[in-house]
A = this chain, B = another copy of it.
Amino acid sequence: MPSQPRELRLASRPDGAFEAANWEIAESDVPEPADGEFLVDVTHISVNPAMRGWMEDKPSYVPPAELGEVFPAGGVGRVRASRHPRFADGDLVFGAFGLREVALSSGRGLLIIDPDAAPPETWIGPLGDTGLPAYFGLLEVGAMEAGDTVVVSAAAGAVGGIAGQIARIKGGRAIGIAGGPEKCRHVVEELGFEAAIDYKSESVSERLRELTGDHGVDVYFDNVGGQILDDVLINLAFGARVVICGAISQYDTTGTWRGPANYWQLLVKRARMEGFLVLDFAKKFPAARAEMLNWIADGSLMPSGEVVDGSLEDFPAALRRIFDGANVGKLILRI
């Protein structure tokens, strides 16, 4: 419990690829909880690719992070100095604390997690930031059904790895797209996808045609955008659903993004492309978490991820690992 806790603030907006110098470390005083408040010692920080978008001063689904302010982040921490009736000292809580070592909270939007059911990294990942978008994107937005051919890009990534596993559990054919033989091996051997396409060494379009034949792709869970989105669009099945969850190939682009030239296939195949925000499904989170805890308990869902030990200063390098394609599964910075 630091006497002079630190925080990481956005110092400047990136011009193309982001750098460590876009953030600055700062010290803050320990806040004094009022009635109905408490402190949280942050222990785990969720590192996710969407954070790249929050650095931009562009209209998006969340307001841009403000220059000079603490950068937003989700994570897990431990309650202390509680003056709140429902949060006791020592409780583990999952919420949006920002990149800070100590947070003041009224409890709003926080979930008390049970470390006996799953460790903090599983609550952040499969039961939180990564599992919930995978679950609702695939099953609600993508309306996936048993027998569907499901393609997932960034399949070795945090969200993609869960999406493909849920597709398998729900009786679909899961085909992953990932970069490099090691990630492809992970996707098939450890996550149980039926097949994986290495976009760095194979033609995604040709391999999809081989793998899905005349039928094509019923559900595409897109985390990347760019060329791969076009490669999948040209292989859609009739009535296909394209779920827009991310566009990691485009986030570092300065100027105009690359749009999907093959969007016309939406007409050819009577298909739809749809975006979503997981918070729209918040009322269904408890039921989804219960179902996923069962899958984790019976071994059908593997909570894949990577925990990096470090301090706040290590956050930019951790985020860079995702954009360099260096990580597998959910990345968490443990303070």
Contact = CB atoms under 8 A, between A and B. Distances in A.
Interface in A179-223: none
Given A258-B259, A259-B258, A270 B264 contact: no
A109 to B, nearest CB: 20
A259 B126 CA distance: 33
Contacts of A280: 270
B267 A257 contact: no
Number of copies: 2
A229 to B, nearest CB: 9
B256 A259 contact: no
A110 interface: no
A277 B270 CA distance: 7
Interface residues of A, number: 32
A289 interface: no
Contact of A259 (B61, B259, B268, B269): B259
A263 B273 contact: yes
Contact of A244 (B266, B274, B275): B266
Nearest to A256: B261
B263 A261 contact: no
Nearest to A61: B268
Interface string A61-103: 1000000000000000000000000000000000000000000
A325 interface: no
Task: Output the residue of A257, A265, A275 with the most chain B CB within 10 A.
Answer: A275
Nearest to A277: B270
Contacts of A254: none
Contact of A276 (B270, B273, B274): B270
Nearest to A247: B264
Contact of A261 (B60, B259, B264, B266): B259
A171 interface: no
A262 interface: yes
A145 interface: no
A228 to B, nearest CB: 13
A271 interface: yes
Nearest to A275: B267
A269 B273 CA distance: 13
A31 interface: no
26 contacts: A59-B268, A60-B268, A61-B267, A61-B268, A225-B264, A244-B263, A244-B264, A244-B266, A247-B264, A257-B262, A257-B264, A258-B261, A259-B260, A259-B262, A259-B263, A260-B260, A263-B273, A266-B273, A266-B274, A267-B276, A267-B277, A270-B276, A270-B277, A271-B275, A272-B273, A272-B275
Interface of A: 59-61, 225, 230, 244-245, 247, 250, 256-277, 280
Given A244-B263, A263-B273, A266-B275, 5 more contacts: A61-B267, A259-B259, A266-B273, A270-B274, A271-B275
8 shortest A-B CB distances, which residue pairs? A267-B275, A259-B259, A266-B275, A272-B274, A259-B261, A259-B260, A257-B261, A61-B268
